[in-house]
Amino acid sequence: MQKILIVDDDPQLVSLHRMRLEDRYEVIDTSEPEEALGLALEHKPGAILLDLMMPKFSGFELCQSLHSLSYTSLIPIFVITGESAAKYKEHCEGLGAKAYFEKPVDYHQLRLKLAAELGTKQAERRAHVRVRMRIILKLKGNDSQGTRLEIATATDNASAGGFLCNCQALFSNGSVVEVFLTSAADRYVGRARVVRVESPGTPWQRCAFQFTETTSEWILSR
């Protein structure tokens, strides 16, 4: 059973979340935002349900902290708040949130979103084992405006099938780049497609790439 971490200072809402979700997930909760990071590192939840408005430490700060740390950056965050989507949704997505739910929560939609997100993550884990590895790369391709780019970057993690790296270029989902290992001479390792853009438009923007073809030069070649 996958774990869900709930961070909310409203005990009644936490109880309601439990009642609606614990038939499918193991629920861990805290009313103290400063405890959330430690619990996320300890339990490695499949997703985090986060309230925005809490005393001492706002959900905005926590969302940014969770998303910026390598050990928690891949955990999907679902913001649940009484604030209107029009007011904060775009900002939360920029901080790394996967979805935004206004109170009262539509639990049918929440369960669908959780199942889709966690199901995708499970499929990715089964397909390829990710390794925390820094690999220096050069990427060549067109940005979202069609401009030809050549950028240097380094991976946060990698697998036989792809990699995650810092990437300030304006690549969009589906963009395809040529990938090279950089050393004394560049070595072509294949072509990769953008499958996810994290924190778009921020200084810590990252892109997840999935190889469409590889050569024997790729360090984790199957």
The model's pLDDT over 180-190, given as tens digits with 9 standing for 90+, comes to 998 768 899 99
The pLDDT of 197-210, averaged and rounded, is 83
Domain 136-214 indexed as CATH 2.60.40.2220: no
pLDDT, average across residues 114-131: 68
How far is the C-alpha of 155 from the C-alpha of 165, rounded, in Å?
A: 4
pLDDT category at 14 given cuts 50, 70, 90 is very high
Res 188: pLDDT: 94
What are the structural domain ranges in the chain? 3-127, 136-214
Look at 126 and 204; give whichever has higher pLDDT: 204
Could you tell me which CATH number the domain at 3-127 has?
3.40.50.2300
pLDDT tens digits for range 40-95: 888 889 999 988 877 666 677 778 778 777 677 778 889 888 776 566 677 777 76
Least confident of 54-63, 112-121, 183-192, 194-203: 54-63
Please give the mean pLDDT across all residues of the chain.
83
